[in-house]
């Protein structure tokens, strides 16, 4: 080996913020290699992937639309992740939130009223929380791994949605497509920016951002949760309530994902359909990590991840590459982040010259 | 239900369990060495498409199986480098591996979703396969099924009756003492992770080359996660992994036959069964925290650096 990892006496604060930037740079570098291997001009591909999607107002609006659910879910998940509560099933909680909110919208289909949307919001949050409560309950009562349970429930939620849009909730005039009726105006979030599809759901994400920021910064519970995450034994001795940590961690993530699901169907989609999300629930895990589990970091990371989604779509249209390319970039980003994080605690020292 | 149907169901149960046996036995070795790789789903699906591509291009099915194993190992190598050399969080890295693998496989498989393949054929052993009942029950599978069943005794022998297995288990229990005794902790963990990757890859290739010889996006459908659950369910014992795999194979097959019996349940609810069964079994096993704590390798999921410990 050319280099040796030497433990630093103190974790490097500088690297905590530098390593995400390093990870982004490495992702772009590897992206360039991939594009070249695929026989694309890397410059053209980069333009299509990272510039083209956001060079007008409409594109910027799309960026916000995609960043909003990612940031919202990641904010919710970060509360649990800090306490080592691994909710990996946000995608399922999003689905159930959308089902609950969509149920309200369809129930009050003919109703024209201002309270339909708030009701949908509540239903969405509750739906997501209910789905997250299952792993929380099983973890606190039976010590069942929340990772595996929340994940299994993703598949259950998606099958439930599939049944609803193929069966009881299918649009009778939908030519047999697996989708519900288009929601009427009172169940659709208003547009915020003229000429874009940017909807009022963005505000919910910003409110959540402030709430999580305040919670993490000033609440005693958040402090206890963080201690529980860093040193479970110490938290035990201090008498911090471990079960409460698990419940708060999972329910926050569930509520956020449920609201994100409601935003999707009341925003850009406008109905219940299959599939609901391009994997926001999973991508949000990456957003939470790349954002260092910090609200501001999450905001920035969500914009980057949203750009990766848009880039994937644009690459599909312009370069005939599959949209799935964005998943490859997302995975690479997290790999590089985790890899460069080693520099927080270790120093790279060359092994030549000195006999180590 | 007549005897023929019962045999048919049993045979189908065995084959449905095979991809889980490969993936879960592989992960068992990984976890025995103290490493938790949550990327099984990602390694499996990349194994599935790699195997399919190579088989479709070369016409050699067995080359496809090898390619599946190789692809799984390459994926595992990424995981190993990040978690073992760079000591990153194993949970997060495993998740990244799955997200990456699902994206990569969709991308690789874009041109192959309408390609038809013969698939690996069942063996026909003259005389034996023609025996009534037993012939079908014991001698009617493709070679990979027998390979999976052969893997089990080999693994038991390796883990519990060989020096190598003892070292792997020692490293999983206490890497610090193993290191003090002079065992190369990181190198052995690398080998375990690579073996797990190869097995997950073969499990994936079994799906796309034998079980349903075709490629469709996301075709592993959570089997990698179920394999992870199986290891917990088995409380890290190979015999129970085998049993569990067949149990889940049975649940998977049951959904088709319940419908065949004329029970009027929407197919989506039947498709939920394997996932719900996984949760139910996990609850049953985890209920007693002691069984998990006593059986799980003590250092599971923790990074190791010889100068830090």
Q: How confident is the model at residue A11 (pLDDT cuts 50, 70, 90)?
A: confident
pLDDT grade, residue B127 (50/70/90)? low
CA distance B297 to chain A (A): 16
A39 DSSP assignment: T
pLDDT at B138 over 80: no
pLDDT band at B307 (very low <50, low <70, confident <90, very high): low
Q: What is the pLDDT of residue A356?
A: 42
Q: CB contact, 8 Å: A169 with chain B?
A: no
Taking Cα atoms as reference points, which of B246, B251, B244 lies closest to residue B282? B244
Cβ pair A163:B305 closer than 8 A: no
Closest to B80 (Cα-Cα) out of B95, B93, B67, B96: B93
Q: A328 vs B282: CB contact, 8 Å cut-off? A: no
User: Rounded mean pLDDT of A166-184?
Assistant: 85
Decide if B177 touches A, using CB distance below 8 A. no
Residue A284 touches chain B, beta carbons under 8 Å: no
> B74 CB near a chain A CB, below 8 Å?
no
Average pLDDT, chain B: 88
- Among the residue ranges A15-24, B87-96, B134-143, B251-260, the one predicted with the least confidence is B134-143
- pLDDT value at B243 more than 70: yes
Model ipTM over 0.90: no
Q: Which of B38, B272, B286 sits opposite A159 (nearest CB)?
A: B272
* B208, pLDDT greater than 80: yes
In sequence order, the 6+-apart residues with CB closer than 8 A to the CB of B111 are none
**Nearest-angstrom CA–CA distance, B138 and B14:** 10
Residues sharing a CB contact under 8 Å with residue B168, sequence separation 6 or more, in sequence order: B29, B32, B33, B159, B188, B192
Percent of chain B with pLDDT over 90: 53
Output the six-digit token pair for A275: 């599939």
Give mean pLDDT, residues A157-176: 89
**pLDDT at A232 exceeding the cut of 90:** no
Task: Please provide the DSSP assignment of B141-174 as one string.
Answer: S-HHHHHHHHHHHHHHHHHHHSHHHHHHHHHHH-
A151 at B interface, C-beta within 8 A:
yes
DSSP B120: P
Alpha-carbon Rg for chain A in angstroms: 22
Q: Residues with Cβ < 8 Å from A29, sequence gap 6 or more?
A: none
Exposure class string for A125-148: b at 16+ Cβ within 10 A, else e: bbbbbbbbbbbbbbbbebbbbbbb
Residue A334 to residue B91, Cβ atoms within 8 A? no
What pLDDT does residue A178 have? 85
Residue A38 has pLDDT above 80, yes or no: no
Per-residue tokens: A133: 């409560």
State the Cα–Cα distance between residues B197 and B186, nearest whole angstrom.
16
Instruction: Give the C-alpha separation, A280 to A98, whole Å.
Output: 13
Selected residue of B103, B106, B309 to mutate for chain A interface (largest A Cβ count, 10 A): B103
pLDDT at A328 over 80: yes
pLDDT at B156: 95
Q: Would you call B307 and A324 a contact, using CB atoms and an 8 Å cutoff?
A: no
pLDDT at A99: 97
**Quick check: A1 pLDDT over 60?**
no
Q: Which residues of B touch A155 (CB under 8 A)?
A: 221-222, 272, 275
Q: What is the pLDDT of residue A355?
A: 46
Asked if pLDDT for residue B155 goes beyond 90, the answer is yes
* pLDDT recorded at residue B1: 61
Question: Which position has the higher pLDDT, A34 or A305?
Answer: A305
Residue B83: per-residue pLDDT: 93
| DSSP output for A139-175 | HHHH---HHHHHHHHHHHHHHHHHHHHHTTT--TTST
- pLDDT for residue B22: 96
| pLDDT for res A2 | 64
pLDDT, mean of residues A99-128: 91
Give dist(CA A339, CA A328) in Å, integer.
16
Alpha helices in chain A (DSSP H): 13-37, 42-46, 57-82, 90-107, 116-142, 146-166, 201-218, 220-230, 232-237, 242-264, 280-290, 295-319, 325-340, 342-345
Please give the pLDDT value at position B35. Answer: 95
- pTM to 2 decimals? 0.89
- Closest in A86, A142, A162 to B268, CB measured: A162
Residue B162: pLDDT over 90: yes
Q: Would you say how long chain B is, in residues?
A: 309
Structural tokens at position A305: 């991840």
What's the pLDDT at A353? 55
- Contact between A101 and A264 under an 8 Å Cβ cutoff? The reply is no
């Amino acid at each position: 080996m050319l280099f040796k990892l030497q433990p630093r006496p103190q974790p490097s604060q500088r690297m905590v913020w530098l390593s995400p930037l390093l990870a982004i740079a490495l992702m772009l570098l590897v992206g360039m290699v991939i594009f070249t291997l695929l026989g694309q001009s890397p410059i053209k591909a980069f333009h299509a992937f990272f510039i083209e999607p956001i060079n007008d107002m409409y594109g910027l609006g799309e960026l916000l639309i995609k960043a909003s659910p990612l940031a919202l879910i990641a904010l919710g998940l970060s509360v649990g992740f800090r306490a080592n509560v691994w909710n990996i099933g946000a995608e399922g909680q999003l689905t159930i939130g959308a089902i609950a909110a969509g149920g309200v919208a369809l129930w009050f289909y003919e109703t024209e009223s201002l309270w339909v949307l708030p009701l949908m919001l509540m239903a969405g949050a509750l739906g997501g929380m209910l789905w997250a409560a299952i792993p929380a309950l099983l973890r606190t009562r039976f010590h069942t791994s929340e990772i595996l349970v929340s994940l299994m429930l993703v598949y259950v939620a998606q099958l439930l949605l599939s049944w609803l849009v193929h069966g009881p909730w299918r649009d009778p005039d939908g030519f047999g497509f697996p989708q519900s009726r288009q929601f009427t105006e009172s169940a659709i979030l208003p547009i915020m920016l003229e000429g874009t599809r940017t909807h009022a759901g963005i505000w919910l994400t910003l409110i959540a951002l402030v709430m999580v920021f305040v919670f993490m910064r000033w609440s005693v519970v958040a402090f206890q949760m963080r201690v529980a995450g860093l040193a479970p034994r110490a938290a035990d001795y201090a008498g911090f309530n471990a079960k409460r940590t698990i419940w708060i961690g999972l329910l926050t993530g569930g509520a956020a994902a449920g609201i994100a699901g409601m935003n999707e169907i009341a925003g850009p989609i406008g109905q219940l359909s299959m599939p609901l999300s391009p994997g926001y629930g999973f991508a949000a895990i990456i957003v939470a990590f790349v954002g260092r589990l910090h609200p501001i970091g999450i905001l920035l990371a969500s914009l980057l991840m949203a750009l990766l989604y848009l880039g994937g779509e644009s690459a599909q249209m312009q370069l005939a590459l599959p949209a799935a390319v964005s998943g490859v970039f997302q995975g690479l980003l997290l790999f590089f982040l985790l890899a460069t994080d080693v520099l927080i605690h270790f120093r790279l020292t060359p092994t030549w010259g000195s006999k180590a | 239900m007549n005897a023929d149907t019962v045999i048919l169901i049993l045979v189908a149960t065995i084959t449905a369990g095979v991809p889980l046996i490969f993936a879960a036995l592989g992960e068992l070795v990984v976890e025995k060495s103290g490493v938790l790789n949550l990327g099984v789903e990602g390694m499996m699906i990349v194994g599935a498409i790699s195997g399919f591509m190579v088989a479709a291009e070369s016409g050699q099915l067995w080359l496809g199986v090898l390619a599946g194993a190789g692809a799984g190992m390459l994926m595992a190598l990424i995981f190993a480098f990040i978690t073992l050399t760079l000591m990153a969080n194993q949970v997060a890295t495993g998740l990244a591996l799955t997200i990456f693998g699902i994206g990569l496989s969709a991308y690789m498989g874009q041109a192959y979703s309408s390609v038809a393949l013969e698939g690996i054929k069942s063996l026909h052993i003259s005389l034996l396969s023609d025996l009534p009942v037993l012939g079908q029950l014991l001698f009617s599978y493709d070679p990979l099924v027998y390979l999976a069943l052969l893997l089990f005794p080999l693994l038991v022998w390796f883990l519990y009756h060989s020096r190598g297995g003892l070292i792997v288990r020692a490293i999983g229990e206490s890497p610090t003492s193993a290191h003090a005794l002079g065992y190369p902790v990181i190198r052995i963990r690398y080998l375990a992770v690579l073996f797990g990757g190869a097995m997950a890859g073969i499990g994936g290739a079994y799906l796309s080359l034998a079980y349903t010889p075709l490629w469709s996006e996301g075709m592993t459908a959570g089997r990698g996660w179920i394999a992870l659950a199986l290891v917990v369910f088995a409380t890290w014992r190979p015999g129970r992994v085998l049993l569990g795999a067949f149990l889940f194979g049975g649940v998977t097959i049951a959904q088709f036959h319940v419908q065949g019996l004329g029970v009027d349940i929407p197919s989506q609810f039947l498709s939920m069964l394997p996932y719900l069964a996984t949760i139910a079994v996990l609850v049953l096993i985890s209920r007693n925290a002691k069984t998990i704590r006593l059986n799980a390798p003590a250092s599971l999921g923790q990074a190791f650096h010889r100068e830090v410990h």
